[in-house]
């Protein structure tokens, strides 16, 4: 198969499209991010990339906490809106009809309408270039009962996760296998 060399870019896809809440009280804000990823399992660490010029950057830096709210595919319009307007100019909570809900371990509010919330405390900030990487230690995870299966495990068919790739929002699709399925087939 012939390959075409492209310019260096962040060509990784898909990535999650999430709503990160930051700040406290009336000063809380929401930022849409796709530069989000798991960094470590023990301790559980997640990294978010935020441009220093963004309003939310200052809120995360000053408070030292943030919440990653995982929206469902049906919330794509809200995700997009929160990514194209600034919290300096617009109260995104009010504009999108979103509700602040208390977190369990951090002072930052959750977005009640999102099915899953990952509460984080900033452990380290790394300046990388156009973005700073906030490394957050996961201190609590909350999920709506409606997106859990009978064993209390997140059911992705119910949660309808949203992904971002090449400028497009997409719903995550069909199940192709579970962890270790290739090895199990080999042993059978």
Give one DSSP letter per residue of 119-131, joined into a string. Answer: EEEEEEEEE-SSS
User: Comparing C-alpha atoms, which of 128, 153, 134 is closest to residue 143?
Assistant: 153
pLDDT at position 144: 97
User: Comparing C-alpha atoms, which of 164, 160, 165 is closest to residue 72?
Assistant: 160
pLDDT at position 8: 87
Give 129: exposed, middle or buried? Use CB within 10 Å, 0-12, 13-18, 19+: exposed
Question: Within a domain: residue 175?
Answer: yes
Looking at residue 120, which CATH number applies to its domain? 2.30.110.10
Please, what's the largest Cα pairwise distance for the chain?
60
Q: Are 71 and 17 in contact (CB under 8 A)?
A: yes
Question: Within a domain: residue 5?
Answer: no
Residue 60: CA count within 13 A, CB half-sphere:
30
Global confidence as pTM: 0.94
pLDDT at position 188: 63
Question: Within a domain: residue 47?
Answer: yes
User: Comparing C-alpha atoms, which of 31, 62, 63 is closest to residue 48?
Assistant: 31
pLDDT at position 124: 98
In the chain, which stretches have pLDDT less than 70? 185-186, 188
Residue 51: C-alpha distances to residues 30, 78, 95, 130 (Å): 14, 20, 23, 6
Question: Within a domain: residue 25?
Answer: yes
Total number of domains constituting the chain: 1
Question: Within a domain: residue 3?
Answer: no
Question: Within a domain: residue 67?
Answer: yes
Question: Within a domain: residue 4?
Answer: no
Q: How is residue 81 written in tokens?
A: 């809106």
Question: Within a domain: residue 9?
Answer: no
129 conformational bin, left if phi > 0, alpha if psi -120 to 50, beta if neither: left
Containing structural domain, residue 77: 15-187
């Amino acid at each position: 198969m012939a390959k075409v060399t492209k310019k260096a870019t962040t060509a990784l896809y898909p990535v999650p499209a999430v709503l990160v809440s930051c700040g406290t009280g009336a000063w809380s804000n929401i930022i849409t991010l796709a530069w989000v990823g798991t960094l470590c399992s023990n301790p559980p660490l997640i990294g978010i990339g935020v441009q220093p010029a963004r309003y939310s950057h200052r809120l995360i830096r000053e408070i030292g906490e943030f919440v990653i709210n995982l929206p469902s595919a049906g919330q794509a319009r809200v995700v997009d809106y929160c990514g194209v307007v600034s919290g300096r100019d617009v109260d995104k909570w009010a504009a999108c009809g979103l509700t602040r809900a208390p977190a369990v371990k951090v002072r930052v509010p959750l977005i009640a309408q999102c099915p899953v919330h990952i509460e984080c405390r900033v452990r380290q900030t790394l300046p990388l270039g156009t973005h700073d990487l906030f490394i957050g230690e996961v201190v609590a995870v909350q999920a709506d009962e409606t997106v859990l299966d009978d064993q209390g495990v997140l059911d992705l068919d119910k949660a309808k996760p949203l992904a971002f790739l090449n400028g497009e929002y997409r719903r995550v699709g069909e199940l192709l296998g579970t962890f270790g399925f290739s090895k199990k087939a080999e042993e059978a």
